[in-house]
Each structure stands twice: as structure tokens, then as C-alpha cells.
């Protein structure tokens, strides 16, 4: 199947590591021009851009904190002006935050997670949708998590932010659908990236995690990236307002009471 992404213009947030890096690579190798957002560690952004450029893709790095509305707006504005429009926004940047039961949670830590995981995607989508609705085409792919449906003890800010992002996406899909713009979510299960290195680098923690995944193993970033490429392509032209899970059936396993 030809997923026809050549020449599209995509902004990917949090693209200097993990899933953002893998999605950027998959899209770049399909001929997409990449706006590579990163927040910290410019050396990682440089490393990823160097690899993407080998595919012949045009790559522009942009440092911005997506939880800062001005920085997010300026970033989208920059790419729209530079490219003369925007076809794809992948809201991937996110953090899981520090473990804390709700009644022990530090307010600034709690708010930080929600600001990055929910406000950030909203800020970027708000600006991108203005252009996508006007140009009557575009796709926004929001990276949520199996924890948009699975409660996760000790990570209330994470679950709330991902569930909120899921419902926001459905609402934006309703709003923008008649303009031909799609908004949807991809919910990864447990994928081996820096975000959960403390789990997969420790055999005991890894065994515990894998026991929660019916498919019996963690996923690889490329397994998520391939689905992301399909979902932002015209091959997925009738998929909007929903979440696609890439999780080895993890969301059907509810035993997260001890924190995962
Ligand atoms: P990761 O830590 O490698 O990637 C997260 C990226 O977000 C990093 O590059 C980080 O610098 C960036 N980021 C953090 N705060 C930012 C900010 N304020 N502004 C801009 N960028 C910021 O981990 P990952 O696993 O690749 O995570 C990517 C997304 O996937 C996250 O939204 C995460 O919640 C989601 N996710 C991951 C898994 C998994 O198992 N890896 C599972 C479910 C959901």
C-alpha cells in the first residue's frame, strides 16, 4: 500500500527521543518534511536531525516548551509561515511525572504534568487547526496512552491528562470534521523508550511490567511509528475522533493497583 506522504509538512513535538524520534524517522523516510520540536538537550535534536537528513528530508529544529502557550503558538506560527501551511501535527511530547498518591501530590508537580500533556497539545492544536480548517485539510495525531482508560495508582496527573487529551481530541474531531480535518489519538502501551527506562533496565521491574501485557513483551518504538505514519496518511482518510491502541492488548489488563 502506498501511504502517499511525500511532500507533506509535519510538526512533531518532543521529537528528539523515544517515540517522537521514531515517528520522525518513519515520516521522514516516507518523504515528509519535518519540524522537529525539542525542549532540552539540543545535542539529541542535532543527532536526530542528522539521521533524518540522510533520508533526504528537510528538517528544521525548533526549541520550545509546549506547556508555554506563547512558545507553542510561536512555534506553529513559525512553521506555517516557513512552509506556507501545515499538513500534520503530532502532539507527542509528554512526561509521566513523579509517583505520588493523590492526597500526597505536590501541586506544582501535578500541574506540570497536566500542562505538558494536555495544555501543550491543546496550544499546538489550537494554532494548527486555524490553518488546517481554513485550508480544508490536515491531521492532528495526539499521543495519549493506555492510561487514557487504565487507572494508574500514583500517577493521577498522567491518567487525567491523557484521558483529557482523548476527549479533547474527539471534540476537536467533531468541530473540524466538516472541514475535512482529522483529529485522533494513538495510545501506546508499554514501549521501550527513555520514559520507562527505570522499568525495562531492571529485570525484576521488567518481568512485573510484562506480566501486565497479554502479548508478553514490551513494544518497540518502530511498531508505534509505523501505525502513526498510516494514521496521518490519506490511507486513513475515514479514521477520526477515536483512539487507536498499539499496546499488545495491555489496556484490557486492569491490575495496575500497585502502580505498574
Ligand atoms: P521520551 O521521554 O523519550 O519522550 C518524551 C519527549 O517529550 C522528550 O523528548 C522530552 O524532551 C519531550 N518533552 C518533555 N517536556 C516537554 C515540553 N515541555 N515541551 C516540549 N517537549 C517536551 O518518552 P516517550 O516514551 O517517547 O514518550 C512520548 C509520548 O508517548 C509521551 O506523550 C508519553 O506519555 C507517550 N507514551 C509513551 C509510552 C511508552 O511506554 N513509552 C506509553 C504510553 C504513552
Pocket of ligand 1 contains residue 19 by CB under 6 Å = yes
How far, in Å, CA of 117 to CA of 120, rounded?
6
- Helix 69-83 with 120-135: angle, nearest 10 deg: 30
Ligand 1 centroid to residue 143 C-alpha, Å: 9
pLDDT of residue 259: 63
Cell of 148: 487514557
How far, in Å, CA of 154 to CA of 227, rounded?
29
* Residues above pLDDT 90, as percent of the chain: 94
Asked whether residue 237 carries a pLDDT value surpassing 60, the answer given is yes
Count H helices, E strands: the chain?
A: 9, 7
Ligand 1 centroid to residue 145 C-alpha, Å: 11
pLDDT of residue 99: 97
The candidate with the shortest Cα–Cα distance to 137, out of 3, 9, 248, 243, is 9
Model pTM above 0.75 = yes
In the residue annotation, 238 being an active-site residue is answered as no
Task: Tell me which CATH code domain 9-246 carries.
Answer: 3.40.50.720
Asked whether residue 258 carries a pLDDT value surpassing 70, the answer given is no
Pocket of ligand 1 contains residue 116 by CB under 6 Å = yes
pLDDT tens digits for 146-171?
999 999 999 999 999 999 999 999 99
pLDDT tens digits for 48-81?
999 999 999 999 999 999 999 999 999 999 999 9
Q: What is the mean pLDDT of residues 136-152?
A: 97
- CB-CB contact of 157 with 101 (8 Å): no
In the chain, domain spans? 9-246
Pocket of ligand 1 contains residue 190 by CB under 6 Å = yes
Amino acid at each position: 500500500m502506498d501511504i502517499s506522504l511525500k511532500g507533506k509538512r509535519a510538526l512533531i513535538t518532543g521529537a528528539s527521543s523515544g517515540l517522537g524520534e521514531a515517528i520522525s524517522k518513519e515520516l521522514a523516510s516516507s518523504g515528509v518534511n519535518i519540524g522537529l520540536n525539542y525542549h532540552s538537550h539540543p545535542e539529541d535534536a542535532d543527532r536526530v536531525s542528522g539521521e533524518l537528513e540522510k533520508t533526504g528530508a528537510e528538517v528544521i529544529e525548533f526549541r520550545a516548551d509546549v506547556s508555554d502557550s506563547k512558545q507553542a503558538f510561536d512555534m506553529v506560527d513559525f512553521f506555517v509561515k516557513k512552509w506556507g501551511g501545515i499538513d500534520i501535527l503530532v502532539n507527542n511530547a509528554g512526561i509521566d511525572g513523579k509517583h505520588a498518591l493523590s492526597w500526597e501530590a505536590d501541586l506544582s508537580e501535578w500541574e506540570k504534568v497536566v500542562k505538558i500533556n494536555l495544555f501543550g497539545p491543546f496550544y499546538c492544536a489550537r494554532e494548527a487547526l486555524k490553518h488546517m480548517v481554513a485550508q480544508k485539510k490536515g491531521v492532528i495525531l495526539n499521543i495519549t496512552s493506555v492510561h487514557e482508560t487504565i487507572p494508574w495508582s500514583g500517577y493521577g496527573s498522567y491518567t487525567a491528562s491523557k484521558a483529557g487529551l482523548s476527549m479533547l481530541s474527539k471534540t476537536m474531531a467533531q468541530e473540524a470534521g466538516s472541514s475535512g480535518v482529522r483529529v485522533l489519538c494513538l495510545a501506546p502501551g508499554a514501549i521501550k523508550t527513555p520514559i520507562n527506562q527505570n522499568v525495562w533496565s531492571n529485570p525484576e521491574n521488567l518481568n512485573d511490567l510484562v506480566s501486565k501485557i497479554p502479548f508478553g513483551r514490551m513494544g518497540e518504538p518502530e511498531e508505534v511509528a509505523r501505525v502513526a505514519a498510516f494514521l496521518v496518511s490519506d490511507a486513513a482518510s475515514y479514521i477520526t475522533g477515536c483512539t487507536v491502541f498499539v499496546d499488545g492488548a495491555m489496556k484490557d489488563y486492569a491490575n495496575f493497583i500497585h502502580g505498574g
